[in-house]
């Protein structure tokens, strides 16, 4: 799984990537990137299983731990375009 930075994100979004915030709903409401879909980490795997395995999926969370776990699980299921967005700091707001 490749890690990408917030500065690289726009170039990946032009590939019809899905931006997935795996934080719990309350944390998502407090702070998330525009255009991100909230798929909380306990349910993210089952929610993403319906997407084609070559879909670019960019995962992120507050610290990067849960997004890496979900990403590695997707890779083990045969998904090939999984990216982890590097934790950019305390808040995504710039």
Q: Which domains does the chain have, with CATH numbers?
A: 2-85 (3.40.250.10)
pLDDT of residue 88: 61
Contact 12, 83 (CB under 8 A): yes
pLDDT band of residue 87 (cuts 50, 70, 90) is low
pLDDT of residue 50: 87
- The residue among 25 and 89 whose pLDDT is bigger is 25
In this prediction, residues 69-74 reach a mean pLDDT of 95
Contact 40, 21 (CB under 8 A): no
Strands 2-4 and 82-85: parallel
- pLDDT at residue 89 tops 60: no
- pLDDT at residue 78 tops 90: yes
Going 32 to 43 to 48 to 88, the CA torsion angle's sign is: positive
pLDDT of residue 94: 41
Structure confidence by residue, pLDDT tens digits, 19-67? 999 999 999 999 899 999 999 999 998 999 889 999 999 999 988 899 9
């Amino acid at each position: 799984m490749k890690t990408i930075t917030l500065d690289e994100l726009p170039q990946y979004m032009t590939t019809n990537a899905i931006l997935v915030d795996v934080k719990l709903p309350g944390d998502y409401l407090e702070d998330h990137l525009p255009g991100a879909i909230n798929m909380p980490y306990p349910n993210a795997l089952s929610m993403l299983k319906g997407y084609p395995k070559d879909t670019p999926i960019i995962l992120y969370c507050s610290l990067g731990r849960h997004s890496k776990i979900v990403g590695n699980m997707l890779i083990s299921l045969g998904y090939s375009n999984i990216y982890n967005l590097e934790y950019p700091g305390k808040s995504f707001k710039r």
